Every structure is written in structure tokens, then in C-alpha cells.
Amino acid sequence: MTRPKRNLRMDLEYDGSDFAGWAKQPGLQTIEGTLEQVLGRILQEQVGLTVAGRTDAGVHARGQVVSFLTGSGMEPGRLRWSVNGLLPDTIAVSSITEAPLDFDARRSAGSRSYSYTLLCRPWPSAYRHRFVNFIRSQLDTALLHSAAAAIAGRHDFRAFTPTVTEHSYFQREIMVSRWHEDVDLLVYTIEASSFLRGMVRALVGTMLEVGRGRRPLRDLRELLAGGERSQAGESAPPGGLCLEQVLYQSSSKSKRER
């Protein structure tokens, strides 16, 4: 007898350094491919995952969210324990919970927040190098703060995503855009309901040009009104970027793990 489908929410974190991004790709190690293989082995069924944010190669996550349907009756806590037992050390599942059937990790999300971390000092870090962008040159932090403030609000971000793209609508509302300093770290935080592909790294790369005095702040403001990708700065390296959190409406909250 076929069991009725259950909808499960999985919260996880990962070090994306050694992965070719989230999405499955033939012959490449990806987060999605690794998770589906492990879940299929445990649940003895093919599992399709819906993810809140599709991270690129080398990008990390501390608060990624996935949803999937299963006909298995395995208790969520036991499933989490089993999954973590088979995953590599670079991926860890923090919780698996029952979710309403209409919960969709991607479509139900209200907002997503990312951080980008710079290490600003004369020497690199041996233990943080996978999670920071090491910057030797001096940065004008006042200009960085002004650049971040300019990004907040609704803008046309077509200059900050690849020219060849699946996107047809380029306006996004940025709820949070700010830098903060923590000893020798500079951390950028950005929150929006959704992002264009490669958008955060392109924004950071352009802001770094402003902070180094290589581009006037007015250029960034003009680009936010719509522009060509070639007019913006180079994308910052992926290692400093991390998906921090995905927020959902209270009506779509998962039931407590049992």
C-alpha cells in the first residue's frame, strides 16, 4: 500500500568551497546531488528537493532551507540523525520538521539574507581563508557605508547579473544593506525577498572599487537605475559569501521536530 506523501522541511548549513554550487550538474559534486543521494539511500525512494536559495560554486550557507515530499513514515529526528551520519563533514542538517503540504522552501520565503566577509589586514588567515575575501589594500569605510546605503530600497539591478540570464524582471526591493566592522573583518549584510543570479558578489565587487577610490560613488548610484553588466565592477570571489537566513510568514511555519 502506498503511503500518503508528507512534506518535510530541512534546515542545513554547508561549506561550499569544494562544491560546484547547489544545483545538480553531471559529473560534478554539488550540494543538491549529495543530499538527494543520501536521502534516496535512507528513504529508499527518489527525492526531489526544492531549495530557498540556489548558491553558486564556492558559496556557503548557514541558514539554507529545503523542502521535499516523501512517502516514508520515518520520524524526522531519526531521519536527521541518519542523514548527518552519511553526509560529508562539509554539510550538516540542523533540523528536519513536518511542514504543511503547501509549504515550498522557495515560493513560501518572505526574505533571504546574505553576508559577505572581508578580512582587512596585511597578512592572510590560515583558518578563515575559505570563508573570507582577503584584502591587503586600504579601504575607505565611509565610502563603503555610503555605497551600502545607496543600495537600500527599490532599484533596477540588471548591471549586477550576467547579461545572458533567465531573469526578465530586474527590479528588487532591498530591505537591509549595510557594512559593519568587527576588529579586522568588514562584513556586508543584505536582505531582500529575492536576488538576481550573482547579484550580491557583483554589488560587493563594485562597492570595493568605490572603497578603493577607483570609482566615484555617483557611478554606483547611476548603475542602480539600470545599466550594462560591463559597466559595473568585477564580481567579488565566492568564498566570502554566505546565505545567512531565510524568513517565512508565520502561517507557513513547520511543526516542531518530534
Q: Output the nine-digit C-alpha cell for 247.
A: 524568513
Name the active-site residue from 11, 15, 18, 56: 56
**Distance between CA 23 and CA 70 in Å, rounded?**
20
CA 249 to chain CA centroid, Å, is: 19
Q: State yes or no: is 56 an active-site residue.
A: yes
Closest CA to 69 of 39, 38, 94, 91: 39
d(CA 190, CA 184): 20
Q: Determine whether 24 is exposed, middle or buried from the number of CB atoms within 10 Å of its CB (0-12, 13-18, 19+).
A: middle
**Grid-cell match 543521494, residue found:** 37
CB-count burial class (<10 Å; 0-12, 13-18, 19+) for 186: buried
Enzyme catalytic residues: 56
